[in-house]
């Protein structure tokens, strides 16, 4: 099985139609400029005091199975930033594009829900459209909240 880092790299490599930039951990910008949008950012940590999701199930937990197989559960946010909150005519002007990007994202993930075999089990993903802060600005977008299971110690 693969490492957590390898799975994060695979997530950042997803090619989603309509997304201009995909940022891996090593390439996360300090701030997002309008010309970089729409963008996907791999975030294995929380950047806000308030969680993207109200419930985190078993994140970073270790379980043992019969036969000594161990697994680790990880929670990762793949943040889609579509447009600065102050742009356009409000959320209504961005909803059609946001919904299309969500559909495109889920279609790509459905083709390879184990991220090229990096995950022990297929990814579980929750979808939360909304307004998200990144780099001192707020953006219309969507948090794709992944729950992954990897073999412990890989």
Domain range annotation of the chain: 4-151
Cβ neighbours of residue 68 closer than 8 Å, sequence gap 6 or more: none
Summarised one tens digit per residue, pLDDT across range 76-86 is 999 999 999 99
Residue 128 has pLDDT above 90, yes or no: yes
Q: What number of helices (H) and strands (E) belong to the chain?
A: 2, 6
Question: What pLDDT score was predicted for residue 108?
Answer: 98
For the entire predicted model, the pTM comes to: 0.86
Could you give the dihedral angle defined by the CA atoms of residues 148, 116, 29 and 102, in that order, rounded to the nearest 10 degrees? -70
Q: How many Cβ atoms sit within 10 Å of the Cβ of residue 150?
A: 22
- List pLDDT tens digits, range 16-63: 999 999 999 999 999 999 999 999 999 987 655 445 444 545 445 555
Q: What are the distances in angstroms from CA 126 to CA 91, 143, 149?
A: 21, 8, 15
d(CA 81, CA 141): 5
Q: Which two tokens mark 65?
A: 């199975």
User: 4-151 sits in which CATH class?
Assistant: alpha beta
């Amino acid at each position: 099985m693969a490492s957590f880092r390898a799975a994060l790299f695979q997530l950042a490599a997803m090619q989603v139609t309509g997304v201009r930039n995909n940022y891996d951990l090593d390439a996360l910008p300090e701030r997002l400029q309008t010309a970089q949008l729409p963008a996907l950012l791999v975030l294995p940590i929380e950047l806000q005091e308030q969680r993207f999701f109200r419930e985190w199930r078993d994140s970073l937990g270790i379980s043992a199975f019969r036969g000594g197989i161990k697994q680790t559960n990880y929670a990762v946010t793949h943040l889609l930033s579509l447009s600065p909150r102050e742009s356009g005519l409000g959320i209504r002007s961005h909803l059609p594009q946001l919904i299309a990007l969500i559909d495109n994202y889920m279609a790509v993930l459905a083709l390879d829900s184990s991220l090229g075999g990096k995950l022990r089990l297929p990814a579980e993903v929750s979808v939360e459209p909304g307004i998200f802060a990144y780099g001192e600005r707020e953006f219309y977008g969507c948090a794709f909240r992944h729950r992954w299971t990897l073999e412990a110690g890989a």
